[in-house]
């Protein structure tokens, strides 16, 4: 599963007018959950609950849809948090704003939600809420505090906060979030290889040699990549074979030069031990044991939201970058040691090289002419349509089709005879 493209746009072109916003800031937000002839929401059992009963509670407005896997993944997490906090003070309530396709889908999805919902048929209210809160993708969880049910003070990243901090994010106040950020900063400052990779009962990693167990302490002083991946994830399997070849090249160069060393530790999210063993069997590096509790902590600590992901730690155990995968795709073995200084140098080189690239070209994989773009000129992070890997910086792009490829992935072609238009 790759989640790069997870955020489906649901923004409505029908944005609220400035005048409307102004008016809205001055009203109790609860009123926009109602209509002229409806002052209630639907409970989990389908009964009517007066909107006024939300008064005094922290309210999460949850935009979600049954058909979309990232929504379905998040909903159980929200259910857990809801069950725990609904009867605390202040209470917690969730209002589901459905982006489902039809009433059946809505009802199916509702069956796993213990909270309230806007009736499916009330398209207008759903549309208004979408534009009020400027919802750009789902799942989206907007949090409103009882003392200021104001749009401009709403917290928009409830989904990210729950993923990141779990139940600790509650009650989502500014003070609470600041405290969590501060705690996290401290944790990262005090981060060492030992406290990241060992646990009370384990000070070793799995290896392939006869001894099989490799002390974590033996990694001290090395640049270490934490590789979050799993065999069930197709991009993970694909990226693994690329990473193996690059790992071996980096090791070769380091061996020649002596001194520094590089290691990778597989952090598996495989579903069963057999898949783990099979997948790890293809890798030349070390691994945390299958299902080790450390894995969950690492995922949280580095806020890993999708796999494959490669987090790079420096010889002192501090985080160098969380974008290891991207850097490997862009610069291959040259990315080592992944530091900011190294990346800046490579970026400069790439800009230099791009000067000699043609401004536009035909590529065998696409029937329209492609234009060279950089981040500054219409580019941005993308997924290469040729190798399916992440890209950043320079790209060849067909704007009309949303087709983008790494410059290194293009294979020049003549203007295909079948191409139906010439791009200016
Ligand atoms: Zn590519
Ligand atoms: Zn095209």
pLDDT at 220: 93
Give the total number of structural domains in the chain: 3
How remote is the CA of residue 366 from the centroid of ligand 2, in Å? 6
pLDDT at 151: 64
Secondary structure element (H or E) that encloses residue 186, with its range: helix 174-189
Are 313 and 219 found together in one domain?
Answer: yes
pLDDT at 376: 65
- CATH value at residue 289: 3.40.30.10
Q: ipTM, 2 decimals?
A: 0.91
Are 164 and 230 found together in one domain?
Answer: no
- Separation of CA 52 from chain center: 36
Are 328 and 384 found together in one domain?
Answer: no
How remote is the CA of residue 326 from the centroid of ligand 2, in Å? 25
Percent share of the chain, pLDDT over 70: 88
Which residue ranges of the chain lie beneath pLDDT 70? Answer: 1-29, 148-152, 210-211, 376-379, 416-424
How remote is the CA of residue 210 from the centroid of ligand 2, in Å? 53
Are 26 and 159 found together in one domain?
Answer: yes
Length of the chain as a residue count = 424
Strands 309-313 and 319-321: antiparallel
DSSP letter at 416 equals P
pLDDT at 10: 37
- Indicate the residue among 153, 184, 215 that finishes a domain: 184
Quick check: is 291 in a domain? yes
Secondary structure element (H or E) that encloses residue 265, with its range: strand 262-268
Are 162 and 102 found together in one domain?
Answer: yes
pLDDT at 150: 67
Quick check: is 352 in a domain? no
pLDDT, tens digit (0-9, with 9 covering 90-100), for 324-357 = 998 998 889 999 999 999 999 998 998 888 889 9
Which residue in this structure is represented by tokens 């160098």? 320
Are 77 and 218 found together in one domain?
Answer: no
Token pair, residue 364, equals: 């065998």
Backbone angles phi, psi at 285, to 5 degrees: -110, -165
How remote is the CA of residue 405 from the centroid of ligand 1, in Å? 5
Concatenating the DSSP letter of every residue in 212-253 gives -EEEGGGGTTSEEEEEEE-TT-HHHHHHHHHHHHHHHHHHHH
Quick check: is 423 in a domain? no
How remote is the CA of residue 330 from the centroid of ligand 2, in Å? 23
Quick check: is 2 in a domain? no
How remote is the CA of residue 412 from the centroid of ligand 1, in Å? 14
Quick check: is 11 in a domain? no
Are 370 and 388 found together in one domain?
Answer: yes
Spatial separation of the C-alpha atoms in residues 17 and 278, rounded to whole Å: 57
How remote is the CA of residue 410 from the centroid of ligand 2, in Å? 14
Are 227 and 339 found together in one domain?
Answer: yes
How remote is the CA of residue 367 from the centroid of ligand 2, in Å? 6
Are 341 and 361 found together in one domain?
Answer: no
pLDDT, tens digit (0-9, with 9 covering 90-100), for 89-129 = 889 999 999 999 999 999 999 999 999 999 999 999 999 99
pLDDT at 2: 36
Are 227 and 124 found together in one domain?
Answer: no
pLDDT at 408: 87
How remote is the CA of residue 398 from the centroid of ligand 2, in Å? 5
Q: Which domain covers residue 60, as residue numbers?
A: 18-184
- Indicate the residue among 184, 218, 238 that finishes a domain: 184
Spatial separation of the C-alpha atoms in residues 120 and 360, rounded to whole Å: 48
- What letters, b where the CB count within 10 A reaches 16 and e where it falls short, cover 104-132? ebbeebbeebebbbbbbebeebbebbbbb
Helix orientation angle between 234-257 and 324-331, rounded to the nearest 10 degrees: 70
Concatenating the DSSP letter of every residue in 187-218 gives HHHT--HHHHH-BTTB-EEE-SSTT-EEEGGG
- Indicate the residue among 345, 366, 395 that finishes a domain: 345
Q: Which ligand is nearest to the CA of 395?
A: 1
Spatial separation of the C-alpha atoms in residues 266 and 227, rounded to whole Å: 5
How remote is the CA of residue 389 from the centroid of ligand 1, in Å? 6
DSSP letter at 228 equals E
Quick check: is 351 in a domain? no
Are 83 and 172 found together in one domain?
Answer: yes
How remote is the CA of residue 346 from the centroid of ligand 2, in Å? 29
How remote is the CA of residue 234 from the centroid of ligand 2, in Å? 26
Are 340 and 318 found together in one domain?
Answer: yes
pLDDT, tens digit (0-9, with 9 covering 90-100), for 362-412 = 999 899 999 999 876 666 778 899 988 878 788 999 988 989 999 989 998
């Amino acid at each position: 599963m790759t989640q790069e493209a997870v955020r489906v746009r649901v923004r409505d072109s029908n944005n609220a007018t400035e005048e409307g916003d102004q008016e809205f800031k001055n009203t109790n937000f609860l009123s926009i959950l109602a209509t002229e002839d409806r002052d209630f929401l639907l409970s989990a059992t389908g009964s009517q609950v007066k909107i006024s009963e939300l008064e005094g509670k922290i309210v999460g407005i949850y935009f979600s849809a049954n058909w979309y896997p990232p929504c379905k993944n998040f909903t159980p997490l929200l259910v857990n948090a809801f069950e725990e906090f609904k009867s605390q003070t202040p209470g917690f309530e969730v209002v589901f704003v459905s982006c489902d396709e039809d009433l059946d889908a809505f009802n199916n999805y509702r069956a796993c939600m213990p909270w309230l919902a806007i009736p499916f048929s009330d398209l207008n209210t759903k549309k208004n809420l979408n534009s009020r809160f400027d919802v750009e993708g789902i799942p989206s969880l907007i949090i409103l505090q009882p003392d200021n049910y104001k749009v401009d003070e709403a917290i928009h990243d409830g989904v990210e906060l729950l993923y990141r901090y779990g139940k600790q994010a509650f009650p989502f106040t500014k003070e609470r979030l600041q405290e969590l950020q501060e705690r996290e900063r401290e944790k990262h400052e005090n981060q060492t290889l030992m406290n990241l990779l060992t646990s009370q009962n384990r000070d070793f990693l799995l290896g392939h040699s006869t001894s099989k167990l490799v002390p974590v302490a033996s990694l001290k002083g090395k640049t270490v990549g934490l590789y979050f991946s799993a065999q069930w994830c197709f991009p993970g399997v694909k990226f693994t074979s690329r990473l193996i070849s690059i790992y071996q090249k980096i090791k070769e160069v380091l061996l020649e030069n002596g001194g520094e060393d590089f290691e990778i530790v597989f952090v598996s999210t495989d579903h069963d031990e057999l898949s783990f063993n099979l997948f790890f069997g293809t890798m030349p590096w070390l691994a945390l044991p299958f299902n080790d509790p450390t894995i969950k902590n690492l995922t949280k600590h580095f806020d890993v939201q999708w796999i494959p992901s490669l987090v790079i730690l420096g010889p002192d155990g501090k985080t160098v970058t969380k974008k290891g995968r991207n850097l490997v795709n862009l610069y291959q073995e040259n990315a080592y040691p992944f530091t900011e200084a190294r990346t800046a140098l490579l970026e400069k080189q790439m800009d230099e090289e791009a000067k000699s690239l043609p401004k536009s070209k035909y590529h065998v994989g696409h029937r329209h002419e492609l234009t060279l773009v950089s981040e500054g000129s219409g580019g941005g992070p993308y997924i290469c349509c040729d190798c399916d890997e992440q890209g950043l910086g320079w790209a060849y792009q067909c704007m009309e089709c949303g087709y983008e490829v790494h410059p290194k992935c293009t294979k020049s072609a003549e203007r295909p005879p079948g191409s139906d238009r010439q791009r200016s």
